[in-house]
Chains A and B, each alone.
Chain A
Amino acid sequence: MTDWLNKTPVEWQSFVNKDVKVSADEKNEYQGWVITIDPVSASIVLANFEAQKTQIRVVMGHAVQKVEVFNEADDIIRERLSHIFSSYETSLQTSEDLETKKQNLKSWLEQNNIPVTLQGKLMRTLCVAGVLSIDPPYGPDDCSSSNEIILSRIQRLLQDYLTRQ
């Protein structure tokens, strides 16, 4: 299916959180839950939950021939899939812990003269100077920004902040 490479992000999005069977080149077939599809290489990331660990398989976009959808994920699996790569602590922390963590970090950043605002539906994302956002659980790996200089500086600051605590 050469079409697969030319699909739009919206079409790819419709496969996310579905149980699918991917037919790839040389009669390889893979089944699993779709975590995501890379919009750059069109590669499919599949998850298979086993007893203790999770097997992740990435099928390269150029090798994909056909994708069949079997099932839709229920809420439990959906939740599991969306947190599969985030640190294990996230799921263990209660929302209260995160709230205090967020307030502490916010006041610490403000003390250091860094402009911070709250963002998002639940006001859980910290936005630094309008160009960088810090998502829960507010670690150095949770920062995202298109400006890599600001990103590395804030990540270093956060690292200092966490080691000092």
Chain B
Amino acid sequence: MENPPLLPQVPVIRLPRPPSPSGRGFDPSSPRALAHHAADSHQKIRSTLRERFLRSLLASSGLPVTFTMYQRVTVNAEKFNACDMEAYNFQVSNLQTPLGVQDEALIRGPDIISYSFCI
């Protein structure tokens, strides 16, 4: 009887050692940590940009908003309530849709092209 063909050999990948349970994460001076670490100025710019964006969300809360969505759909909502961290879901009240008014609605971020409001 013939031997069955050998299975292809799989190399063993060795993962880097994780931080020890009592440690405080990866060594900040290790090459790995340095490669991950963006310059301080980057982080500062990122935080100012993000702060301004969060303030814009804060300013829009409770105001009427108009959403421009894909397929040339434009809908109005009487009140902008909240949006999640990644701007992935928007929660609004009294959304005027072609099918009637929705008291509370959750709009998916990827369906939106833009939205506007006045302050």
Contacts and interface: CB of A to CB of B under 8 A. Distances in A.
Contacts of B88: 41
B45 interface: yes
A58 interface: yes
A5 to B, nearest CB: 12
B75 interface: no
A28 B50 contact: no
B118 A43 contact: no
Interface of B: 41-42, 45-46, 48-53, 55-56, 58-60, 68, 70-72, 85-88, 109-110, 112-119
A36 B53 contact: yes
Nearest to B111: A60
A53 interface: yes
A55 B49 contact: no
Contacts of B114: 24, 28, 30, 57-60, 63
A26 B53 CA distance: 25
A85 B52 contact: yes
Contact of A53 (B42, B51, B110, B119): B119
Interface of A: 8-10, 12-13, 16, 24-26, 28, 30, 35-41, 43, 45, 50, 53-60, 62-63, 84-86, 141, 144
Contact of A41 (B71, B86, B116): B86
Task: Name the 5 nearest CB pairs between A and B, nearest first.
Answer: A36-B52, A38-B53, A85-B55, A57-B116, A41-B87
A25 B68 CA distance: 11
B56 A58 contact: yes
A56 B56 contact: yes
A38 B58 contact: no
Given A41-B109, A54-B119, A58-B115, A85 B56 contact: yes
Contact of A12 (B49, B51, B110, B113): B49
A54 B46 contact: no
B113 A57 contact: no
A9 B42 contact: yes
A56 B59 contact: yes
Nearest to A27: B72
B115 A57 contact: yes
A129 B45 CA distance: 24
B33 to A, nearest CB: 19
B91 to A, nearest CB: 15
Contact of A38 (B45, B50, B119): B50
